C-alpha cells in the first residue's frame, strides 16, 4: 500500500464552526481559535462562506475591530525615530530596507513638521 504524500486534509465541519463561534462570542479572535484547533484560517473562512455560517454577530465584529492593534508597526516606529533624529531619506531607506517613497509617506503621515 502506498503512503500518501503531502499534508493530511483537514475536514471542516459545522460542529467545529460551532466551537469557533462559541469561543469568538467569548471574546477570542477567529485566527487564534483556528490555530489552536489546527485549522487553516483562510480555508475555515471559505468553508463558512460556502456553508452560509456566520461566525461573527454585529456586536462581536465591532468588538473585534476595537481590540485590533491600531497605529504604526514596529518598523514604522523605528523609521519615525530616524526621521526625528534628522536622518536623510536615502539613509533611512537603506538602513531599513524600504523605498524612499515609503519614508516620505511615513514622514507626511506620522511626523509633524
Residues 86 and 58 reside in one and the same domain: no
- Containing H/E element for 45? helix 41-51
Those residues whose C-beta lies under 8 Å from the C-beta of residue 69, and which sit 6 or more positions away, are none
d(CA 70, CA 72) in angstroms, rounded, equals 7
Supply the range of the domain harboring residue 96: 74-110
**What's the structural domain count of the chain?**
2
At residue 22, the pLDDT reads 92
Instruction: Determine, yes or no, domain membership for 25.
Output: yes
Residues 39 and 84 reside in one and the same domain: no
Instruction: Determine, yes or no, domain membership for 6.
Output: no
Give tens-digit pLDDT for 56-105: 888 888 887 777 766 667 788 899 999 999 999 999 999 999 999 999 99
Residues 20 and 56 reside in one and the same domain: yes
Tell how many helices (H) and how many strands (E) occur in the chain: 7, 0
Residues 63 and 79 reside in one and the same domain: no
d(CA 80, CA 98) in angstroms, rounded, equals 13
Give tens-digit pLDDT for 25-52: 888 888 889 889 888 999 999 999 999 9
For residue 46, CA distances in Å to 1, 23, 74, 105 come to: 33, 19, 31, 34
Residues 26 and 61 reside in one and the same domain: yes
Q: What is the pTM of this model?
A: 0.52
Amino acid at each position: 500500500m502506498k503512503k500518501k504524500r503531502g499534508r493530511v486534509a483537514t475536514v471542516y465541519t459545522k460542529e467545529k464552526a460551532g466551537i469557533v463561534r462559541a469561543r469568538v462570542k467569548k471574546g477570542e479572535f477567529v485566527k487564534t481559535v483556528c490555530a489552536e484547533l489546527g485549522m487553516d484560517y483562510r480555508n475555515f473562512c471559505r468553508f463558512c462562506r460556502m456553508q452560509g455560517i456566520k461566525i461573527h454577530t454585529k456586536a462581536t465584529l465591532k468588538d473585534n475591530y476595537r481590540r485590533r492593534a491600531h497605529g504604526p508597526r514596529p518598523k514604522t516606529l523605528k523609521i519615525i525615530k530616524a526621521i526625528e533624529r534628522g536622518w536623510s531619506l536615502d539613509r533611512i531607506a537603506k538602513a531599513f530596507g524600504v523605498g524612499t517613497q515609503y519614508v516620505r509617506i511615513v514622514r507626511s503621515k506620522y511626523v509633524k513638521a
